[in-house]
Structure 1
Amino acid sequence: MDETAGGPALSRTWRPRAVRIVAYGMGLLVMATMIVLTVILPDDWRPQDRVLLVMLGAVIAAALHLLARPRLVAAEDNVTVVNGIRTHVLAWPEIVDIRMPVGEPWPSVDLSDGTTLAVMGIQSADGERARRDLEEFRAMLHERGEAPEPGDS
């Protein structure tokens, strides 16, 4: 906690735990399997076939990395939402609320332009940890997220 501001300290990063363990574990397993296969394959396999086998393992590991990549980063002046492929940088006042209805895999933020954005950096598969992370972010949002009213000094 940041003692001077009276709220949670910034910058804070949230990442899903269970998905990362599974994705990176599977990526290592796939790469290890492909490397072992290239070593034990019969001699009639050409070198380029062996290289392609390892490259296939690398492509699968890269796809698994996209599953493990999501995160939510709260900084003093903005929020960065990193999902599988896209990254969104939002100012605190752009975020109206964050919610994760029961049964949803991850929360979504309601934005001031009327749209919503999935936040895959917190995932319900993490159970109680996900609920704590959601409440921690919500506290930061309510502290920093409201834009000043017109005319306020």
Structure 2
Amino acid sequence: MSDLPDLPVTFRPGHTRAILLTAGVVIFLVISGIAMLLELGPGERLSFVITGALIFWVLAQLARIKVVADESGVTVVNIVSRRRLDWAEILQVNLRPGDPWVFLNLSDGTSLPALGIQPGIAKQRAVADARALRALAEARSAAHEAQDQG
């Protein structure tokens, strides 16, 4: 158990996040700069700035994905959803070759994508994160079963 990460631990695609946030800032600044350079009325300039801000907001939403594991369970934050799971609800943590991200098989028979661990740019990191989350889930599940039997 000593190879388990200390809790709480947050898994997120760091490179992807940095790229998305950097692109969002650059796009916002370029669109806003163009609005200031062109001979536009105040309403047209404002619409450029709002468009840049909207693009930044969308990219920031894409960058917020993460998986947070703590003592009582896991919080999965995807693009438009957030779900809290108890450790006992997670039956299996899967990252198969070709999968775009980790999938959590749940006790209710469903599968939940966990976009916070994805092998896109940093495949080795994603594999290590998936293994760590799997080890945590197995250790917490075993501890939960021991409590139920004891």
Scaled by the length of structure 1, the TM-score of the pair is 0.90
How far apart, in 1, do the equivalents of 2:57 and 2:124 lie? 29
TM-aligned CA distance change 1:131 to 1:60, over 3 Å: same
Letter in 2 for 1:54: V
Q: What's the % identity of the aligned pairs?
A: 33
1:18 alignment partner, one of 15, 19, 22? 15
How far apart, in 2, do the equivalents of 1:21 and 1:119 lie? 19
Check conservation: 1:23, 1:65, Cα contact below 8 A.
Answer: yes
Structure 1 residue runs of 5 or longer lacking an equivalent are none
How far apart, in 2, do the equivalents of 1:149 and 1:14 lie? 27
Give the secondary structure class of the aligned counterpart of 1:124: coil
* Aligned positions of 1:1-153 closer than 5 A: 7-42=4-39, 45-125=40-120, 126-146=122-142, 147-148=144-145, 152-153=149-150
Query: Per-residue deviation at 1:101?
Result: 1.2
Q: Say how many residue pairs are matched.
A: 148
Structure 1 residue runs of 4 or more that deviate by more than 3 Å after TM superposition = none
Query: Per-residue deviation at 1:80?
Result: 0.2
Give the secondary structure class of the aligned counterpart of 1:72: strand
- Root-mean-square deviation over aligned CA pairs: 1.8
TM-aligned CA distance change 1:9 to 1:142, over 3 Å: same
Point out the structure with max Rg over C-alpha.
1
How far apart, in 2, do the equivalents of 1:151 and 1:56 lie? 54
